[in-house]
Structure 1
Amino acid sequence: MATIVMERIGRVFISLQQIRQVPRMLTEAAPSMPGTVRDTEVPRYFREHYVHAGYRPLEQNWRYYFLSLFQRHNETINVWTHLLACLVFLAKLRQLAETVDFLNDRHSWPLLILVVSSLIYSGCSAAAHLLGGKSELCHHGFFFLDYVGVAQYQYGSAVVHFYYAVDESMHRYVGGVFMPVATLLSCLSCFGCCYGKYRCHSRPTSVRKVFQVVPSGLAYLWDSSTVVRRLALWSADDLAIVYHFGQVAFFLSCAFFFTFPVLERCFPGRCDFLGQSHQVFHVLLSCCTLCQIHASHLDYVARRELYSRLHQGGEPALFVGLYAATLFVCALIAALILRKVKHMLDLIAKSK
C-alpha cells in the first residue's frame, strides 16, 4: 500500500515539474519575440481609448502573432475569453449530440444552427484579436471576419427564438416574415459594421460604434421579440423562462460595456492588460450565449407539440438554406468592402 502511494506521489511530482517547464519551453520556442510598445509607437488607428501600453509592434512575421497567444499584451484576455468560450460551446455541442438526433430530427436543426453559429462567432473573434495587429489591412480583414461571425450568430439567435420560443398568437402575425426580416437585418448589421470601419477610418472610435450598434440593435430587437413576449407572459410552469431572462440580462449588460469604455475611463492606464470593458463584454456575451443554448434546448424538449404544429415540415430545411445564404452574403459584403479598404490604403501609401 505504501509503495502504491509513493508511486502516485512521484507521478504527481513529475507532472508538476513538467507544468513548471512550460513557460521555459515557450520562451525557448520563441526567443526573439519583441516586447510590447506604448500607444505612441503604433498608428492612431490601432489605439484604444485610455489603454496606454501593451500594444504589439506591427509588421512582424505571422509566427510572432500566433505565439503572442502566450504573451502578455493588451489583447491577451480578449483572445482567451472567446477562445475558451469556443471550447465550451464545442463541449456543449458534444453533450447535446448525446441526446439530440441532429441528423434525422429536422426540428433540432435550428438548435444546431445556434450552436454552430456560436462556435463561429467566438472563433472569429479570437482570431481577430490575435491576428488583427499585424497590419492595417489585416486589422480590417480579420475584424470584418469578426463582423461576419456576429451577423451569422444574430441569424442563429433569430431562428431558435422564432422556432422554439414563439407562441401561437404571435406566429399568426409574423410567421411569414420573421425569418426573411431577420436575414435582412443580419446582412445589414454586417454591412453597417464593415462600412463604418471603412468610412470612419480617421474618425473617433465613438463614430464607428454608431455604425456597429444601431443596425445590431435593430437586429436584436427583432430577433428577441418572441422572447420578450415570453417574459411578459411569465409562467411558473415554463422551464426555460429563467434562462431566457438570463440571456436578455446578460446581453443588455454586455451591450453597455461594448458601447461605453467605463472601466478604462475610470482607471486610465491601469487596464492595459486586465480590466478593459471589451473583456467584460466578451465574458458577458459568452454567458448570454450559454443561457440561450440552454433555454433553446429546454424549449426544444418541452414545447415540441407546439412548434411541430406551428412550423411546416419543410421550414427547417428552408432555415438552414437561409443560414447558408446569410453566411455567403455577409462574407461577400466583407470581401467587397475589404477591396475598398485596400484601395484606400494604397492611395494613402502613394500620397506619402
Structure 2
Amino acid sequence: PPPGQRLPSLKPPLRSVEAPRHQRKLGAQAVPDDFVECFILSGYRRLHCSAQECLASVLQPTNETLNFWTHFIPLLLFLSRFCRLLLLRGAGDVPFHHPALLPLWCYASGVLLTFAMSCTAHVFSCLSPRLRAAFFYLDYASISYYGFASTVAYSYYLLPGLSLLDAGAMSRYVHMACPIMLESLLFDLRTRNPTLFVYFYRRYCWLLVAAFFNVSKIPERIQPGLFDIVGHSHQLFHIFTFLSIYDQVHYVEDGLAAFLKAPPAAPTYLGTVGYMLLLMLCLAVPNDSSKFQKTN
C-alpha cells in the first residue's frame, strides 16, 4: 500500500450474539398475569416451552430454578432415609413387608410424593396454562395426601404411647384431631418424652416461619427485583417446610422404634393402604364447580 495508507481489516464485523429463544428470560410484563408472582419482576421463562426446554431450565438462572432444587435435594435425602428404614432394615429386624411397617410405607409415600409433585409443577409449569393448572392441582392434592399419611403414621406410632389418649376418657373427635398438642399442654411432655417434645415443637416453629415468608412475600416485597432469582420468599418457604418435615421424620421414627418393642395392635392393609387408596380416589374425582353454579 502507498505510504500512510492502512490495510483494510480482515476481521468480520462484530455481531450481537443473542441467547437461544428458550434461554431468554422475560420480564413480568411479557408473561400472562396468571404466571406473574408478586414483586418478582424478571427471570420468567417463556410460555409454551417444550419438555426438554423445561428440564434444561433447572440449570439456568430463572425464578423457578431454586424452587426446584430446594425440593429436589430434600426428595433425594428423604428417599435415602426411607430406603434405609424400609429396605435396609434400619427400622429393626422386621422385613420390609411386615405389617408393622405399613404406616411407615404410607407416611413415606406421602412425603416423597409431595416433594416429587412440587418439583414437577415448578419445572413444567411453562408448558401451557392448562398444564400449569393441572400440575399445581396435583401439587396441592399431594399435600392433602401427605397430611392424611401423617395421620396414619401418628395413629399407630405416636398415639398409643401418649397417656392422655384413653378411649374411655376422650371423644373420638379429640382422639384424632389434636392429641399431641393436648398431651403437651396438659401433661409434662418434656419430662415424659424429651425427644418428642423437642422435635414436635421445633417442627411447628419451622412451619410458622415458612408460613410467614409465604404470606408476607418478604424479602422481595422490600426490594422488588433484587431477589428475582435467588432468595425470594417461595424458596425460603420451601427450605423451612423441608426442615419441618425433617423433624417430623425424627419423631415418627422414634415412635416406630417404641411401637416395634410392644405393638398394641397390628396395622392392617385396610386401615393403612386401604384408606390411602380411598383418599386418592376422592382426589381423582372431578369437581366442576362452574357446572354447579350454572344449575343453581
Are positions 1:136 and 2:113 aligned together?
A: no
- TM superposition shift of 1:281: 0.9
Following superposition of structure 1 onto structure 2, how do residues 70-219 of structure 1 map, counting pairs within 5 Å? 70-97=59-86, 98=88, 99-100=90-91, 101=94, 103-166=96-159, 167-172=162-167, 173-175=170-172
Are positions 1:282 and 2:235 aligned together?
A: no
Residue type of the alignment partner of 2:214: F
Following superposition of structure 1 onto structure 2, how do residues 245-256 of structure 1 map, counting pairs within 5 Å? 245-256=201-212
* Stretches of structure 2 lacking an aligned partner (at least 5 in a row): 1-18, 292-296
Are positions 1:331 and 2:284 aligned together?
A: yes
Distance across 1 between alignment mates of 2:273 and 2:166: 19
CA contact under 8 A between 1:114 and 1:293: conserved in structure 2?
no
- TM superposition shift of 1:178: 5.9
Question: What secondary structure, in the 3-state scheme, does the structure 2 residue paired with 1:300 have?
Answer: helix
Q: Deviations over 1:156-186 (max 9, x none)?
A: 122222222222433513558866xxxxxxx
Distance across 2 between alignment mates of 1:171 and 1:270: 54
- TM superposition shift of 1:294: 1.2
CA contact under 8 A between 2:203 and 2:245: conserved in structure 1?
yes
Q: Which residue of the partner structure matches residue 16 of structure 2?
A: none
Q: How much is the aligned-residue C-alpha RMSD, in angstroms?
A: 2.5
The answer to which of 137-146 and 102-111 deviates more is 102-111
Residue type of the alignment partner of 2:41: H
Distance across 2 between alignment mates of 1:122 and 1:46: 21
* Stretches of structure 1 lacking an aligned partner (at least 5 in a row): 1-29, 180-221, 342-352
Residue type of the alignment partner of 2:184: L
Q: Which residue of the partner structure matches residue 59 of structure 1?
A: 48
After the TM superposition, which segments of 4 or more aligned residues of structure 1 sit over 4 Å from their partners?
A: 174-179, 303-306
Distance across 2 between alignment mates of 1:68 and 1:146: 20
CA contact under 8 A between 2:49 and 2:126: conserved in structure 1?
no
Are positions 1:321 and 2:274 aligned together?
A: yes
Question: What secondary structure, in the 3-state scheme, does the structure 2 residue paired with 1:263 have?
Answer: coil
Q: Deviations over 1:285-322 (max 9, x none)?
A: 1111111111111111125567x32xx43556412211
Distance across 1 between alignment mates of 2:278 and 2:184: 31
Residue type of the alignment partner of 1:320: V
Aligned residues: 262
Residue type of the alignment partner of 2:218: V
The answer to which of 279-288 and 166-175 deviates more is 166-175
Q: Which residue of the partner structure matches residue 255 of structure 2?
A: 299
Residue type of the alignment partner of 1:50: F
Question: What secondary structure, in the 3-state scheme, does the structure 1 residue paired with 2:191 have?
Answer: coil
Counterpart among 235, 238, 256 of residue 190 in structure 2 = 235
When normalised by structure 2's length, the TM-score is 0.80
Question: What secondary structure, in the 3-state scheme, does the structure 1 residue paired with 2:23 have?
Answer: coil
Distance across 2 between alignment mates of 1:147 and 1:178: 26
Change over 3 Å in CA distance of 1:291–1:96 after alignment to 2: same
Q: Deviations over 1:5-36 (max 9, x none)?
A: xxxxxxxxxxxxxxxxxxxxxxxxx9663311
- TM superposition shift of 1:255: 2.1
Change over 3 Å in CA distance of 1:95–1:340 after alignment to 2: farther
Change over 3 Å in CA distance of 1:230–1:297 after alignment to 2: farther
**Identity, % of aligned pairs?**
25
Distance across 2 between alignment mates of 1:257 and 1:60: 29
Q: Which residue of the partner structure matches residue 217 of structure 2?
A: 261
Distance across 1 between alignment mates of 2:125 and 2:285: 20
